[in-house]
Amino acid sequence: MAQQLQAVVWTGTGVRVIDQTRLPGQLVYLDIDTVDELVAAIRRLSVRGAPALGVAGALGVVVAMRQADREGWSAGELARAIDRLRGARPTAVNLAWAVDQVAPLMPDGAAVLAAALRIQEQDAAANRAIGRLGADWLQARLRRPALRVLTHCNAGALATSAWGTALGIVRELHERTVLEVVYVDETRPLLQGARLTAWELAQAGIPHLVQVDAAAAGTVVGGLVDVAIVGADRVAANGDIANKVGTLGIALACQYAQVPFLVAAPESTVDLGTASGASIRIEMRDDEEVLVVAGQRSAPAESRAHNPAFDITPARLVTALVTEQRVLAIAAGQVPAGTNTR
């Protein structure tokens, strides 16, 4: 069932996304045929995950063109709408990258749509390749018959076009019967780990334990974990990683405990135009995400929040980057160009 799951699909007239804010309680789809609806869905994280944002962005260009036709927009109005879409979330590089891949094909609507669907197909194929390469790498290096994995946030089917990136490796290990258990960080404030990753693992029958994010360091240092595997929203040219806030803490614990720390992401996440993590813009989100927990205010009315959505993990803490093409030890230095289309 989890393999049929599609976070983003083209219906023929618009984009259909799973409303990830409603999981795991309800599996609700949103049919979207305007740019404003799509931008809002991206901002509130109904659709999320760097590779899925790329697909949504590319298909969103088709949505924009159809809306422009329907509503008689000028070329300037269309360009501004596509810019809004391109910048709906700033940290994941895939969104802007995918828009930039397909937008030059305008005004040929069929070509734009074909290019967007090709991005989706390539991402699905990349997921499976990442799973195989990552599992091969782990099986060659680790000495336990079955591995105990820690992951953070959701880098699964819901974040991509197929099996997921980090969870693609987890699913592959499970298929090879060499997976013991997955420690799932709940991933506050929006609980993508507890709500989405645990849901995907439950659907796939993969044993897992949900923990508060603050438990991750103790789980790693306490010897309960053989490898940590996370996704990435952007990989800089020097190998620094932007990913969901909390990733850095896991990497620090892995370094301390000498546990491998793997980053799984398609080549489209590698941004050779960004020199290092210092130049990655970190999205700051609303106070209420932190201060209102499941509808109830946690802190006093006077309190404000500090709410970065991401953090930067320095390259030297990353044991290896797993893409659809390679398993690259980036702790040492620069990321050489892959064969992606940039």
Of 123, 226, 233, 271, which one is the catalytic site residue? 233
By the 10 Å C-beta count (0-12 exposed, 13-18 middle, 19+ buried), 198 is classed as: buried
Find the distance separating the first CA and the last CA of the chain, reported in whole Å.
Answer: 34
5 binds a second copy (CB under 8 A): no
Q: Per-residue x/- mask for a second copy, residues 191 to 230, rule CB under 8 A?
A: x--xx--xx-xx-----xxxxxxxxxxxx-xx-x------
Contact predicate 10/113, CB 8 Å = yes
Contact predicate 261/241, CB 8 Å = no
174 binds a second copy (CB under 8 A): no
Q: Which is nearer to a second copy, 152 or 174 (CB)?
A: 152
Q: How many residues bind a second copy (CB under 8 A)?
A: 59
- Encoded amino acid at 169, one letter: I
Among 273, 308, 333, 336, binds a second copy (CB under 8 A): 308
Among 312, 320, 321, 322, binds a second copy (CB under 8 A): 312
Other Cβ atoms less than 10 A from the Cβ of 275: the count is 14
256 binds a second copy (CB under 8 A): yes
* Segment interacting with a second copy, rule: CB under 8 A, options 113-121, 140-148, 160-168, 184-192: 184-192
Going by C-beta distance under 8 Å and a sequence separation of 6 or more, which residues neighbour residue 143?
none
Q: Which is nearer to a second copy, 17 or 184 (CB)?
A: 184
How near is the Cβ of 256 to a second copy at its closest, in Å? 6
Other Cβ atoms less than 10 A from the Cβ of 177: the count is 8
Strand-strand pairing, 310-313 and 241-244: antiparallel
How near is the Cβ of 163 to a second copy at its closest, in Å? 19
233 in active site: yes
By the 10 Å C-beta count (0-12 exposed, 13-18 middle, 19+ buried), 108 is classed as: exposed
Of the candidates 279, 213, 225, the one whose C-alpha atom is nearest the C-alpha of residue 249 is 213
Q: Which is nearer to a second copy, 75 or 212 (CB)?
A: 212
Among 58, 290, 327, 330, binds a second copy (CB under 8 A): 290
Structure tokens at 110: 């069929």
Among 5, 17, 62, 252, binds a second copy (CB under 8 A): 252
Structure tokens at 232: 């990435």
Binding residues for a second copy (CB under 8 A): 24-25, 152, 183-189, 191, 194-195, 198-199, 201-202, 208-219, 221-222, 224, 244-246, 248-249, 252-253, 256, 290-291, 293-300, 302-308, 311-312
Residues belonging to the active site: 233
